[in-house]
Amino acid sequence: MSDEPYADFSSPPDVDASDEERSLDMDAITAHLDRGWDLLGRGDTIGARLSAHHILQLDADSPEGHTLLGAIVAAEGDPDEAMDLFRRALDADPDYLDALLYAAELAIHPLGDLEQALAFCEDAEDLVRDDDPEALDLILLRAEAHLAAGDRSSAERALAALPALTPATAPDPAFPLRVGRLLLDLEAPKRAIPLLETTLEHPSTRADGRYFLGLALELAGEHQRALEHLVSVHALDLEAPPPSWTLDAESFAALVEQVLGQVEAPFGERLLAVPRRIATSPPLELVCEGFDPRAAVFLAGAPAPSRTSGGESPTARRRSGSAREGGEELQLSCLFIYKRNVERFAGSQPQIGAELFRALIAELGFFYGLDDAVVDGLLDGGGGKMH
């Protein structure tokens, strides 16, 4: 028995104290990392940011910490700062796969640096085995980058490497949704439909799955089934809570006026000259007529623009054509803005103005049947002021 009544057994004598401290730090980093990603997944960027800062206090060069913080900053609407953070993670560990994949995704959208995105994919390919879950994500990122660059054949070839997907084999519930959306962009709705149908089984993808399934069915000519899904989406979206960063009604109305002032002549003056109405979402009766339940804005005209033609559904016509028929000149009578949908596509409060501006220009292009060059000119003329 020891002569000392209270012997110190806090650490074994053969364990270096610094090793124990490092082990404790790694445990803390892992805990903060798990919590940070969980909070970010639930939309709590403030809590997630706190976890990321704790990680970087413990290890200033942590690639995991910089990657988590980069994902948070990207979700908050600052892609340039997010890319800097992903690059810091890669400086610390050039083989850190998560940072490469996040950087590739960000480079595709919203940065549009497609050459860099493909370079990130090349670097990631050296680190991924065929049976790794990340291999599927890498295939999809490569296909998305090629399609964004306008190279449809390369996108198709990349996507051909993707194995058959089921809810059990998909790396996460959102993966079939991403593939389905890509197939829609490749104008392959019949291939997209079975994948999108699987997304209805999971609560986190049910609303988006119904929306894109509705679009796919519409493009495949199944208009009644499409409408049923789009009407369901309208109800699901209204049931969902607004984002934590939503603007109050007064602030949103003020931002609308600011954005309208950025639209170049003569269209800006036309928008400012008509009544403006802000609503949460499009009315159900308009959706039942084929209007997109997630449209951000709607320009009403007198005479009202026809949204059907030759058996084509209204939403399909809106996606591909113009409100004008037979060269008729439309008189703009009212502007409707759907706040929830603007915020949905913005993704963060700082991006609301830019998203509303883009939506207005797209709707002007549809309403007046503007050429792509005119639409691009309007976007270039005022879009930069909205960031």
What is the rounded (10 degree) CA torsion for 228, 230, 232, 236?
Answer: 170
32/47 Cα distance (integer angstroms): 10
Average pLDDT over residues 197-225: 95
Q: What is the pLDDT of residues 141-185, one digit of tens each?
A: 999 999 999 999 999 999 999 988 877 788 888 999 999 999 999
Whole-model pTM: value is 0.80
382/361 Cα distance (integer angstroms): 10
Is the domain spanning 171-240 CATH 3.40.50.2300? The answer is: no
Is the confidence at residue 76, as pLDDT, over 90? Answer: no
Q: 3-state DSSP call for residue 210? A: helix
What percent of the chain has pLDDT above 90?
72
Q: Which helix (H) or strand (E) holds 276?
A: strand 276-279
Residue 49: CB atoms within 10 A of its CB come to 19
Q: Sign of the C-alpha dihedral, residues 117, 118, 119, 124?
A: positive
Question: Across all residues in the chain, what is the average pLDDT?
Answer: 88
DSSP string across 101-130: HHHHHHHHTTS--HHHHHHHHHHHHTT--T
The pLDDT value recorded for residue 75 is 87
- 246's torsion region: left (phi>0), alpha (psi -120 to 50) or beta? beta
The class level of CATH for 249-386 reads: alpha beta
Q: Which helix (H) or strand (E) holds 96?
A: none
Provide CB contacts within 8 A for 352, sequence distance 6+.
247, 252, 255, 342, 343, 346
275/154 Cα distance (integer angstroms): 47
Average pLDDT over residues 313-323: 53
Helices (H), 126-277: 133-148, 152-160, 175-185, 189-198, 206-219, 223-239, 249-260, 267-273
For the beta sheet containing 276-279, the strands, ordered from the edge strand earlier in sequence to the opposite edge, are: 276-279, 331-338, 297-302
Residue 83: CB atoms within 10 A of its CB come to 20
CATH topology identical between 171-240 and 249-386: no
> Hey, where are the domains in the chain?
171-240, 249-386
The dihedrals phi and psi of 65, each to the nearest 5 degrees, come to -65, -45
What number of CA atoms fall less than 13 Å from residue 247's CA on the CB side?
25
Cis ω before 303 (30° cut-off from 0): yes
N-terminal to C-terminal alpha carbon distance within the chain:
73
Q: 3-state DSSP call for residue 294? A: coil
The pLDDT value recorded for residue 327 is 53
Q: What is the pLDDT of residues 243-267, one digit of tens each?
A: 878 999 999 999 999 999 999 999 9
H helices then E strands: how many in the chain?
Answer: 19, 3
The residue type found at 211 is Y
297/324 Cα distance (integer angstroms): 17
